[in-house]
């Protein structure tokens, strides 16, 4: 599939793939470390809550503000904040001071920073590519990201099984840092700033009004919310089930999570 391969598009393509891989590895390794330290299903579930709730909140409030900033800066901030959170876990893991509270704090930071990258990236592409290439460009970015997220857990399982958790943490920190540095070379988007001065609540009301015009989208959203909630409730149980109940290993867990995403 041929798209408009400018330097900035290639950089964004690589950075987004790295971002998706880093996110997938992070949910994988933090789940493992929490369970290894606590051996608690409750703490496993709490980890997912501490990631999901900040993620949802940030998605709700960040959109209008992202549009007022440089998309490039938002993406760099997202990558480097996540790299910093994982590097702190790595330092404490190497020195033997890793604890549940630190993992929970890093999970919250990750949940807040992650949802900033994708909307900023999508908005950047809309300005970067001509309209005739936009659909193909988005398809390439989305397809690569989904492929990366499907393969990520299996790759994480291989690293974890053969080289240990610190190797996974080093990999995540490196990938996200390199991605953030690459994004420095993106071309800045010059666009007109809105002078309307709309407040967040006004824009939120406009978004709600959109569902009144297209009610089918509202029910699709409810369906997706139900599916995601059910999946989120089940995911914390996969790791202890595979390791304890069926005698699997970290590698088996990684392969299972990749197959789960494919399914």
* Cα gap 63→170, rounded to integer Å: 31
Q: How confident is the model at residue 1 (pLDDT cuts 50, 70, 90)?
A: very low
Spatial CB neighbours of 47, under 8 Å, sequence gap ≥ 6: 30, 31, 34, 103, 104, 107, 236
pLDDT tens digits, 63-103: 767 777 788 999 999 999 999 999 999 999 999 899 999 99
Whole-model pTM: value is 0.84
Q: How confident is the model at residue 207 (pLDDT cuts 50, 70, 90)?
A: low
pLDDT tens digits, 2-46: 455 688 888 999 999 998 888 888 888 998 899 889 888 888 888
Token couple for 139: 């398809």
Query: Quick one: CATH architecture of 7-188+199-262?
Result: Up-down Bundle (1.20)
- Give the 3-state secondary structure of residue 193: coil
Residue 232 has pLDDT above 90, yes or no: no
Instruction: Compare 98 and 214 and report the one with higher pLDDT.
Output: 98
pLDDT tens digits, 103-137: 999 999 998 998 889 888 888 888 888 887 888 88
Total residue length of the chain: 263
Residue 250 has pLDDT above 70, yes or no: yes
């Amino acid at each position: 599939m041929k798209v408009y391969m400018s330097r900035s598009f290639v950089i964004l393509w690589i950075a987004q793939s790295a971002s998706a891989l880093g996110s997938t590895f992070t949910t994988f390794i933090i789940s493992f470390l929490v369970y290894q330290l606590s051996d608690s299903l409750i703490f496993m579930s709490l980890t997912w809550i501490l990631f999901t709730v900040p993620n949802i909140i940030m998605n709700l409030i960040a959109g209008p503000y992202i549009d007022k900033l440089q998309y490039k800066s938002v993406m760099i901030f997202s990558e480097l904040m996540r790299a910093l959170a994982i590097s702190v876990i790595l330092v404490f893991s190497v020195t033997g001071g890793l604890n549940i509270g630190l993992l929970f704090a890093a999970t919250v930071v990750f949940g807040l920073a992650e949802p900033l990258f994708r909307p900023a990236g999508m908005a950047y592409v809309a300005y970067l590519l001509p309209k005739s290439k936009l659909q193909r460009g988005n398809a390439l970015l989305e397809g690569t990201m989904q492929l990366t997220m499907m393969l990520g857990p299996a790759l994480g399982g291989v690293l974890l099984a053969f080289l240990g958790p610190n190797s996974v943490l080093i990999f995540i920190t490196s990938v996200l840092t390199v991605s953030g540095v690459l994004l420095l070379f993106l071309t800045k988007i010059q666009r007109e700033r809105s002078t309307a001065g709309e407040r967040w609540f006004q824009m939120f009301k406009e978004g709600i009004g959109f569902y009144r015009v297209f009610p089918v989208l509202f029910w699709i959203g409810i369906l997706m919310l139900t599916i995601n909630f059910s999946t989120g409730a089940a995911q914390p149980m996969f790791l202890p089930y595979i390791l304890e109940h069926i005698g699997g290993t970290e590698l088996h867990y990684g392969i299972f999570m990749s197959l789960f995403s494919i399914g």
